[in-house]
Structure 1
Amino acid sequence: MRTLCLLLSFLCAFATIGKAQDNFQGAWKSSHGGVNSVLLITPGYFSITTYQDTSFIDTMGGTWKADGGDDVAVKIEFNTEERNQIGWEGSVPLSYADGKLTTTQSGGQQVEWTRVDNGDAPLAGSWQITGREQNGKMNTITPGARKTIKILTGTRFQWVAINTATGEFFGTGGGTYTFADGVYTEKIDFFSRDNSRVGASLTFKGKVDGNSWDHSGLSSKGEPIHEIWTK
């Protein structure tokens, strides 16, 4: 229940949704005992990830939306620590003060979160892969239960591959990014499939046209990729 308690206490640190939902969007971080926690909040989607040095520990996330009054409706789409929580839905009361987030975990321990960015950037939002080039042809990927999502704030990113129907988790990675003059660069802070990739930087060509992002370059394995992502 640790990750769910973390989520609920985190959400309970928000202010009234009608007044502050723009204020808490972006990236937040917390460190305790050498363990790093990162929270990414974009319009309609969130993730919470913990890692230590080069080792990935766990991640969870899903959708959220204003539920009227002072509540937010949450649905868990992935949780690597407690898979039985996938699909959990509920409404959570909100409170937020002085531009700070403070959570109370089970046992009463309080954790203070420090803002990393305010989520303001051309690529900020949640994206889903909808096209991938193979043998010179761009093939459409129809959104469904099995999906790959990329969550970006102003400076941080995370991708996650999941199946919401079966609860399967296929992998995740994340870290910091920059995007300028058509060049998108990632620096990896955690990677569930291969810890040796932590610290690596990957550079891609990128073009955003409305809700479509054309993304091409070499993958972490050095293989050419050309993808279309859609908000």
Structure 2
Amino acid sequence: MKRFVLIPLLLIFAWTQAQDLDGAWKLTHQNGNEITEEEYVKIYQDNYFSFGAKKLADNHFIGAGGGPIEFKDGYYYETLDFFTLDPPQVGTTNKYKLDLTNGKMVISSEINGRMLVEIWEKLPERKDALSGNWVITGRKRDGEISRSTPGARRTIKILGGGRFQWVAFNSETKEFSGSGGGTYTAENGKYVENITFFSRDDSRVGASLGFDFEVIDGEWHHSGQSSTGNPIYEIWTPYSLGYKPAGSKPQE
């Protein structure tokens, strides 16, 4: 009888662990060394993670990475959809031990014969109507909405714990097109981004952009003016619904 009880208990444990991760985290220590000259912020939402890193002295972009996560057999797994620090690793899955205690997360693994131990501290909790992982599926031009189904090449935006990060990449070719992120607010139909890192132009750090937003039938309608002053109207769909991996069957 115990054999049949174990599987649901493991599923509940994995689900609880994933829920505990949701939000934003900041790297404080790596292999016993305190991180003081760089900033790494990692966002978890909807069984997906993304991180962005910069140098604190001049806001120079260091790198970004992310992809789906999974808890299985007492371990934590990350599969890389994009990884600027070592692009050949895109598509690989890494196995870690993960411990959560008192708002801190300890991740450890042996990689290439060497131990990696990281300590992440959770940033203040904050949830709103846009907390989640999104993929762009539509745009409006000249009053007409055009739709697309994201595949290997896609643009995502993950929001959690008051932090956001967008990333454009191709998980098949391992090509990275760009990323940016920072803090945000989403209140009373107004969405404001405060940029803290930007892969294409460090000088953009510190800028704030305001938009209108509305969640319609579960999708995020995002409108306003781009950083270049051009009007934009975008539709973002929850990632789990909008992204269709190669070979996946259409929903009935």
How high is the TM-score relative to the length of structure 2?
A: 0.78
Aligned residue number for residue 40 of structure 1: 43
1:55 equivalent to 2:63? Answer: no
Q: Give the structure with higher Rg (CA).
A: 2
Aligned residue number for residue 189 of structure 1: 196
121 and 220 in structure 1: CA distance in 2 versus 1, 3 angstrom threshold = same
Report % sequence identity: 40
Alignment of 1:24-173 (within 5 A): 24-30=21-27, 32-53=35-56, 54-67=59-72, 69-103=73-107, 111-118=118-125, 120-173=127-180
Q: Partners in 1 of 2:120 and 2:134 — Cα distance?
A: 25
Q: Partners in 2 of 1:125 and 1:132 — Cα distance?
A: 20
94 and 18 in structure 1: CA distance in 2 versus 1, 3 angstrom threshold = farther
Could you list the runs of 5+ residues in structure 2 that have no partner in the other structure? 1-12, 29-34, 239-252
Is the 2:214–2:220 Cα contact (8 Å) retained in structure 1? yes
Q: Partners in 2 of 1:210 and 1:28 — Cα distance?
A: 30
Is the 1:121–1:154 Cα contact (8 Å) retained in structure 2? no
Deviations 1:39-96 (A, max 9, x none): 11111210122101321110110011333x4234431100001000000025444332
1:209 CA drift (Å): 2.4
Q: Partners in 2 of 1:140 and 1:109 — Cα distance?
A: 43
Q: Partners in 2 of 1:18 and 1:94 — Cα distance?
A: 14
For residue 221 of structure 1, the aligned residue among 221, 228, 249 is 228
1:102 CA drift (Å): 3.1
**Residue type of the partner of 2:103?**
G
1:103 CA drift (Å): 4.3
Q: Partners in 2 of 1:20 and 1:149 — Cα distance?
A: 23
Deviations 1:124-178 (A, max 9, x none): 1110000012232111121111100000003000000001111110000000000
For residue 200 of structure 1, the aligned residue among 189, 203, 207 is 207
Q: Partners in 2 of 1:110 and 1:95 — Cα distance?
A: 11
109 and 143 in structure 1: CA distance in 2 versus 1, 3 angstrom threshold = closer
Is the 2:55–2:62 Cα contact (8 Å) retained in structure 1? yes
Q: Partners in 1 of 2:121 and 2:94 — Cα distance?
A: 26
Is the 2:98–2:106 Cα contact (8 Å) retained in structure 1? no
Could you list the runs of 5+ residues in structure 1 that have no partner in the other structure? 1-15
Counterpart of 2:123 in 1: which secondary structure? strand
Q: Partners in 2 of 1:178 and 1:87 — Cα distance?
A: 33
Q: Partners in 2 of 1:216 and 1:19 — Cα distance?
A: 35
33 and 98 in structure 1: CA distance in 2 versus 1, 3 angstrom threshold = closer
Alignment RMSD (CA, Å): 2.1
73 and 33 in structure 1: CA distance in 2 versus 1, 3 angstrom threshold = closer
Q: How many residues align?
A: 215
**Residue type of the partner of 1:71?**
Y
